[in-house]
A = this chain, B = another copy of it.
Amino acid sequence: MNVHILAATRRRDCVRARPQRASKADPQTDAAIHDAIARAVMDGSLRAGTKLAEHRLAAIFGVSRERIRKVLHRLGAERRIDIIPNRGARVPQPTVDEVRQIYEAHRVLEAGVLLALADALDDAFLARLDAHLAEEHAAAARGDRSASVKLSGGFHLLLVDAIGNPELSRILRDLLSRSSVMVSVYEPANQSICAVDEHGAIVEALRARDVGRAIDLSGHHFLHVEQRLRLDYAADAATDLEAVFRPRLAGKPARATASKRGDRR
Contact = CB atoms under 8 A, between A and B. Distances in A.
Interface of A: 70, 73-74, 77-78, 98, 101-102, 104-105, 107-113, 115-116, 163, 165-168, 171, 175, 215
A242 to B, nearest CB: 28
A238 to B, nearest CB: 29
Contacts of A98: 167
A111 B104 contact: no
Contacts of A101: 165-168
Main secondary structure, interface of A, reads: helix
Nearest to A113: B108
A104 B165 contact: yes
Contacts of A108: 112-113, 115-116, 163, 165, 168
Copies in the complex: 2
B168 A215 contact: no
A208 to B, nearest CB: 19
B73 A105 contact: no
Per CB-CB distance, the 8 closest pairs between chain A and chain B, nearest first, are: A112-B112, A111-B112, A105-B168, A108-B116, A101-B167, A77-B77, A108-B112, A105-B167
Contact of A111 (B102, B115, B166): B115
Contacts of A78: 77
A107 B109 CA distance: 11
Contacts of A163: 108
A55 B258 CA distance: 47
Nearest to A178: B167
A106 to B, nearest CB: 9
Nearest to A66: B66
Nearest to A100: B165
A109 B70 CA distance: 32
Contacts of A111: 111-112, 115-116
Contact of A165 (B70, B74, B105, B112): B105
A165 B102 CA distance: 9
